[in-house]
């Protein structure tokens, strides 16, 4: 197990660690390695569970505490993440990596003053790129743009790319953060140049033709006969709402509004159904991979996976309530599976000016290996086109209730649109939905800073500042009337 992990063979390491845990459920090292692998896979709930088990079996092991802190942080459980960092610092107050983690958790939580204090006390801000990144974010939030730019200039200047891939990733993050600062300073050409350079440092090739073919496969596999009443599992006793939209189209904002409701729980970009889709052919013994593996899925399996989804939510630690809201960016491609497993699911489609989406995606640090389509204007344009094509298909075959929400309408008339959203979800009205930014919840997406404050209109028609860079691409409008 340890050898496989050190060699980077995560699949073999995971297989070995899980085998060990079947025989020895309290095995410290197996839980720790499993937690690290799950974290790398983006399965943060599982990572947290194994990190907690590892920490419980050996409370003094610093690596277990750090792993737990990262898992809590990835889940938005900021208070627990901060507590774990402080536990480490109580024994080793000069641990720079832990100080950097603590500062980043405080910044994401919105406590920028405390984050800057940690960085200042460390006395090593210029020696750690994460310190510089967090420091710049804090200055940007506080409106100290020149200070933020100075920090980033120094940090970027200290990065020697060489052949180290990690250094490329660090410089990418710094450049994309500088793009945000330049944007705030209305230095738009510099912002776009930083974003383009940053994304080029660590990018995965995007095959537009293959992407389009994959969408066509989804369309071919999910037809009307997949959703006959006789094929539907028992409806859930809970309300399940799936938010679907382009990245940066208001999906996080709508989820945060609903999460503020006392009877509603936002589950963020919960990956359970995405993971199921990648493993479905193995689980049911199909010769075909996704999406063809979903064809002809038995009623028994549909019921089984439907129950498993709710169990996963419970095991993940989400609060029980009347309504769960999932905003995964994969939802558009998974709606066929959603309708097969949760026949009473509701879908909220979010829309925004296509050019505003393009600019926001270009300036955002989306993981290149997960979203290669968001690393260039041509990729974003292709995604918009395919997104619209798939939406048109779902409208013809899915037996689900839908609501369209325009971002511009929401920020222009917050209460009216919010009431429509709450009513669509079958919830009683709550004024807390208008005060969504004061819930104390830590959002773990690129929109975390925006949804921690009241709605604002400054991002509407943002594309006008970048109009010259957007020429020559097909911007398929997604706004619904």
DSSP string, 429-446: --GGGGGGGGS-PPP-ST
Q: Is the pLDDT of residue 335 over 50?
A: yes
Average pLDDT for residues 342-358, to the nearest whole number? 96
pLDDT digits (tens, 9 = 90+) for 365-403: 998 888 999 999 999 999 999 999 999 999 999 999 999
Peptide bond into 450 cis (omega under 30): no
Q: Is the pLDDT of residue 237 over 90?
A: no
Q: Is the pLDDT of residue 447 over 80?
A: no
DSSP string, 227-251: G-GGGPPPPPSSEEEEEEE-TTSSH
Dihedrals φ, ψ of 461, to 5°? Answer: 60, 30
pLDDT digits (tens, 9 = 90+) for 257-271: 999 999 999 998 888
For residues 125 and 134, what is the distance between their CA atoms, to the nearest angstrom? 10
Average pLDDT for residues 33-61, to the nearest whole number? 89
Average pLDDT for residues 87-106, to the nearest whole number? 90
Average pLDDT for residues 276-289, to the nearest whole number? 92
Angle at CA of residue 108, ends 140 and 181, nearest 5°: 20
Token reading at 474: 């097909």
For residues 75 and 316, what is the distance between their CA atoms, to the nearest angstrom? 10
Backbone φ/ψ region at 295: left (φ over 0), alpha (ψ -120 to 50), beta:
beta
pLDDT digits (tens, 9 = 90+) for 177-232: 999 999 999 999 999 999 999 999 876 789 999 999 999 999 999 998 888 888 88
Answer yes or no: are the C-beta atoms of 102 and 133 closer than 8 Å.
no
pTM of the model: 0.86
pLDDT of res. 455:
67
pLDDT of res. 264:
92
Dihedrals φ, ψ of 43, to 5°? Answer: -95, 75
Q: Is the pLDDT of residue 478 over 80?
A: no
For residues 442 and 85, what is the distance between their CA atoms, to the nearest angstrom? 17
Token reading at 113: 């003053």
Q: Which of 480, 457, 74 is nearest to 245 (CA)?
A: 480
Q: Which helix (H) or strand (E) holds 349?
A: strand 346-351
pLDDT of res. 456:
65
Q: Taking the CB of residue 103, how many other CB atoms lie within 10 A of it?
A: 31
Dihedrals φ, ψ of 349, to 5°? Answer: -95, 125
Q: Domains of the chain (ranges plus CATH)?
A: 1-93 (1.25.40.10), 105-112+119-202 (1.25.40), 210-470 (3.40.50.300)
Q: Which helix (H) or strand (E) holds 404?
A: strand 401-406
pLDDT digits (tens, 9 = 90+) for 112-157: 999 999 988 877 655 677 888 999 999 999 999 999 999 999 888 8
């Amino acid at each position: 197990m340890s050898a496989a992990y050190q060699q980077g063979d995560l699949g073999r390491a995971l297989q070995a660690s899980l085998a060990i845990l079947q025989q020895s459920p309290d095995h410290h090292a197996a839980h720790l390695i499993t937690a690290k692998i799950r974290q790398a896979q983006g399965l943060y709930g599982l990572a947290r569970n194994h990190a907690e088990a590892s920490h419980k079996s050996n409370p003094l092991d610093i690596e277990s505490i750090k792993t737990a802190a990262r898992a809590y942080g990835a889940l938005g459980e900021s208070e627990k993440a901060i507590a774990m960092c402080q536990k480490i610092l109580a024994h080793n107050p000069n641990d720079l990596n832990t100080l950097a983690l603590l500062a980043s958790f405080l910044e994401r939580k919105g406590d920028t003053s405390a984050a800057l204090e940690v960085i200042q006390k460390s006395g090593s801000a210029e020696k750690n790129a994460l310190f510089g990144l967090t420091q710049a974010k804090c200055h940007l939030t506080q409106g100290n743009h020149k200070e933020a730019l100075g920090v980033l200039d120094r940090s970027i200047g200290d990065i020697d790319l060489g052949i180290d891939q990690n250094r490329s990733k660090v410089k990418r993050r710094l450049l994309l953060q500088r793009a945000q600062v330049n944007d705030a300073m209305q230095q738009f050409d510099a912002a776009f140049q930083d974003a383009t350079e940053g994304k080029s440092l660590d990018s995965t090739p995007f095959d537009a033709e293959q992407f389009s073919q994959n969408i066509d496969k989804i369309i071919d596999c999910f037809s009307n006969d997949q959703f006959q009443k006789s094929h539907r599992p028992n409806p859930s006793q809970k309300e399940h709402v799936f938010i679907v939209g382009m990245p940066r189209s208001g999906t996080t904002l709508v989820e945060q509004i609903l999460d503020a409701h006392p009877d509603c729980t936002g589950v963020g970009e919960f990956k359970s159904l995405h993971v199921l889709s990648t493993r479905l052919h193995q689980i049911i013994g199909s010769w075909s991979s996704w999406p063809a593996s979903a064809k002809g899925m038995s009623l028994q399996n549909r019921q089984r996976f439907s129950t498993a989804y709710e169990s996963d939510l419970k095991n993940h630690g989400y609060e029980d309530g009347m309504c769960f809201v999932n905003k995964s960016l994969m939802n558009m491609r998974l709606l066929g599976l959603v309708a097969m497993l949760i026949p009473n699911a509701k879908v909220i489609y979010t829309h925004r000016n296509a050019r505003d989406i393009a600019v926001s995606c270009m300036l955002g640090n989306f993981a290149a290996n997960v979203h290669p389509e968001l690393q260039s204007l041509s990729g974003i344009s292709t995604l918009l086109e395919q997104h619209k094509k798939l939406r048109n298909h779902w409208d013809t075959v899915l037996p689900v209730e839908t609501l369209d929400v325009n971002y511009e309408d929401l920020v222009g008339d917050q209460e009216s649109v919010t009431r429509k959203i709450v009513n669509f979800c079958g919830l009683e009205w709550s004024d807390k939905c208008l005060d969504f930014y004061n819930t104390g919840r830590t959002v773990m997406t690129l929109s975390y800073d925006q949804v921690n404050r009241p709605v604002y209109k400054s991002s509407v028609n943002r594309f006008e500042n970048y109009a010259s860079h957007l020429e020559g691409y097909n911007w398929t409008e997604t706004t619904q009337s």
